[in-house]
Structure 1
Amino acid sequence: MSTASVSTAATRRAAARINAAFADAGVTGRLHALDIDSGASISVAATQPVPTSSLHKVCLLAALYREDAAGRLDRTRQIDVSAAERTPGLSGLAVMRDAVRLSLRDLATLVVAVSDNAAADVLWREIGFDTVNRTMADLGLPDTIAVHDMAAIRDALLATPNLADPAALADVSVLNPELTNRSTPRQLAELFAAIWRDEVCTGELAGELRSVLGVQAWTHRLSSGFPFDDVRVSGKTATLPTIRAEAGVIEYPDGGRYAVAVFTRAASTAAVLPAADAVIGTAGRIAVDALRSH
């Protein structure tokens, strides 16, 4: 990878526009955008820790493919998942009624495509927290740490009597990055960059992992900033009360590749805040445009 930098003036202009977009949307935000090939980057509070929730599923998948590459795990192995042992959720296996049999890699596809919590927790049991955390450390991402599966995150939220009360959120452990799955916007962008640079695994495995990360159904966040038929957006969202996030990679037809991670937090506890979703795409686009202008 070559090295390059965006001028200080350009970085400040981009950061100011990003912060203004966050303010207009009624959120505070953090962002890191990285040119995967040159190493140039733009940051807004990108080294501050954040609770990752469903974004940690990308770490889980990276560990799955890295373990397969090392011969310690077979991603095509079939798993029987009974209806009784599934983590509740709003999509995927969680809303199905009968027993299923799927390979580990097809479970991974559900994890990305519809953020399937039940499929994710099968993989957490098969791979383990220690393996996922070791994988992140091996990739040079020591602040990216998992301590909860999706069932534990759900249980913590259900234990809060009134999530619509802003005062009640102060005591929710999964909103505190010191107590739950955590990373930083910088390290999440660096994880996606590592996947696209074949640093997690190589060859067919690397291509398959990138393909899996490209099947997400949700287009209302990062993808909304890049509404072009010839621009590909791969990524993964995460949602917690007041927190909306997405990290991924934007690929242009001229070969430009940019890893972006955006986290926002709203004062409102409303579950539906379209402006807070859309600003993730707006901020990502401002950052990528600045990197491409460089």
Structure 2
Amino acid sequence: MTPSAEKRIRDVFADAGCIGWLHARRVGTPDGSAGDIAVGADDLVVLASVYKLPLFVSLCRAFDSGELSPTATVRVTPADCTPGPTGVSTFRDPIVLSWRDLALSMMTVSDNAAADLVLGRVGLESVERVLSDLGLTSTRVIGGAADAHSSLVIDAHAHTTAEAFAALADNDEAWTVSAYDPSYASATTPRDMTTLLDAIWTGRAVPGPHAAFVRQAMSAQVWQHRIRSGFPYSDVDVAGKTGTIGAIRNEVAVVTFPGEIPVAVAVFTRAARADPVLPVVDAAIGHAARIAVTELRSGRLD
């Protein structure tokens, strides 16, 4: 990695008022064999909703083994669901969905309720097996969105999830909450996440047609304000998964230019502020990813 690229990435994070961690590598090549981009790539960071990606892999393995049919249905009562700004918890009436469609909602709009239903069906043990099988030794998933919200309510001395998030967004308070601490929250490293992305794209994580389903769902993610913002081109595919909680803003993605080797990139940040909307930090994630991917595409690291 050229010193200028690392400095430029660090400057992007500093200018946006956040701490940032990043790793990028070409898909299908051993980590580091053809060069990689690393900025705190082996530091522990908070997963937030990025945990839904290994959970999705676990579900698709259950589909592949026949343990669960993707078209089997589940009745969902929104009032009983984990709250969230998107997905089935925002609905007014009970609905019936297949596990496959629940997974799509979990990935494309980061549906918390769908994710907790999926986690309840496959279990934490199956997610742990995925992490172990793929050598993601620094990654730990300790629970779903409901668990994170419960912890946040306690830490913020609140009565409801809404009160807890409102308290967390108050920049006049210096909150120390477990949701921000990778020692207590579900955690990973940027390098582990590019390893997971590589395993998905090369078919090691999930075999056969279910691997394509994972990639298609990630390509259909609706959020365009982070890594996608660095690649505003119609012929470039950005297949990703975001994660957000308070001051934590993340995304992991595979960026594919036509006719080129895809590049896996993982960007994790913690902002100085906890405003519900921080477009400068979102844009910094895209900018940092663009620097890393451009460096790898240039071939200067070979």
TM-score after normalising by structure 2: 0.90
The answer to whether the 8 A contact 1:143-1:184 is kept is yes
Tell me how far apart the structure 2 counterparts of residues 95 and 158 of structure 1 sit (CA, whole Å).
20
Aligned to 1:89: 84
Greater mean alpha carbon deviation, residues 17-26 or residues 217-226: 17-26
The answer to whether the 8 A contact 2:171-2:275 is kept is no
Q: Offset of 1:166 from its aligned partner?
A: 6.6
Tell me how far apart the structure 2 counterparts of residues 279 and 112 of structure 1 sit (CA, whole Å).
22
Q: Offset of 1:68 from its aligned partner?
A: 2.0
Tell me how far apart the structure 1 counterparts of residues 89 and 187 of structure 2 sit (CA, whole Å).
24
Aligned to 2:280: 275
Instruction: For residue 241 of structure 2, give the secondary structure of its aligned residue in structure 1.
Output: strand
In the TM superposition, 1:66-81 aligns within 5 A as: 66-81=61-76
The answer to whether the 8 A contact 2:51-2:141 is kept is yes
Deviation sequence 1:2-46 (CA, Å, 0-9, x none)? xxxxxx4x2x22111100111111111000001003343111001
Aligned to 1:103: 98
Q: Offset of 1:180 from its aligned partner?
A: 1.5
The answer to whether the 8 A contact 2:171-2:273 is kept is no
In the TM superposition, 1:18-37 aligns within 5 A as: 18-37=9-28
Tell me how far apart the structure 2 counterparts of residues 70 and 34 of structure 1 sit (CA, whole Å).
30
The answer to whether the 8 A contact 2:23-2:36 is kept is yes
Are 1:153 and 2:148 an aligned pair? yes
Tell me how far apart the structure 2 counterparts of residues 203 and 31 of structure 1 sit (CA, whole Å).
30
Instruction: For residue 240 of structure 2, give the secondary structure of its aligned residue in structure 1.
Output: strand
In the TM superposition, 1:197-216 aligns within 5 A as: 197-216=202-221
Partner letter of residue 35 of structure 1?
R
Deviation sequence 1:247-288 (CA, Å, 0-9, x none)? 011011013201111011111122222110100000000000
User: Percent of aligned positions with the same letter in both sequences?
Assistant: 40
Greater mean alpha carbon deviation, residues 111-120 or residues 147-156: 147-156
Tell me how far apart the structure 1 counterparts of residues 84 and 96 of structure 2 sit (CA, whole Å).
19
Tell me how far apart the structure 1 counterparts of residues 54 and 153 of structure 2 sit (CA, whole Å).
25
Tell me how far apart the structure 2 counterparts of residues 68 and 35 of structure 1 sit (CA, whole Å).
28
Instruction: For residue 247 of structure 1, give the secondary structure of its aligned residue in structure 2.
Output: strand
Q: Offset of 1:61 from its aligned partner?
A: 0.2
Aligned to 2:240: 235
Aligned to 1:14: 5
Tell me how far apart the structure 1 counterparts of residues 28 and 39 of structure 2 sit (CA, whole Å).
21
The answer to whether the 8 A contact 1:169-1:175 is kept is no
Tell me how far apart the structure 1 counterparts of residues 260 and 171 of structure 2 sit (CA, whole Å).
46
Aligned to 1:4: none
Deviation sequence 1:186-220 (CA, Å, 0-9, x none)? 11111111100101122211111111111111100
Q: Offset of 1:70 from its aligned partner?
A: 2.6
Instruction: For residue 169 of structure 1, give the secondary structure of its aligned residue in structure 2.
Output: coil
TM-score after normalising by structure 1: 0.93
Tell me how far apart the structure 2 counterparts of residues 166 and 139 of structure 1 sit (CA, whole Å).
42
**Structure 1 portions without partners, runs of 5+:** 1-7
Tell me how far apart the structure 2 counterparts of residues 267 and 197 of structure 1 sit (CA, whole Å).
37
Q: Offset of 1:134 from its aligned partner?
A: 1.2
Tell me how far apart the structure 2 counterparts of residues 240 and 84 of structure 1 sit (CA, whole Å).
22
Partner letter of residue 27 of structure 2?
I
RMSD (Å) for aligned C-alpha atoms = 1.4
In the TM superposition, 1:50-61 aligns within 5 A as: 50-61=45-56
Instruction: For residue 175 of structure 2, give the secondary structure of its aligned residue in structure 1.
Output: helix
Tell me how far apart the structure 2 counterparts of residues 57 and 15 of structure 1 sit (CA, whole Å).
29
Instruction: For residue 101 of structure 1, give the secondary structure of its aligned residue in structure 2.
Output: strand
Question: How many aligned residue pairs are there?
Answer: 284
Are 1:217 and 2:222 an aligned pair? yes
| Counterpart among 188, 195, 219 of residue 183 in structure 1 | 188
Instruction: For residue 248 of structure 1, give the secondary structure of its aligned residue in structure 2.
Output: strand
The answer to whether the 8 A contact 2:70-2:100 is kept is yes
Aligned to 2:292: 287
The answer to whether the 8 A contact 1:166-1:269 is kept is no
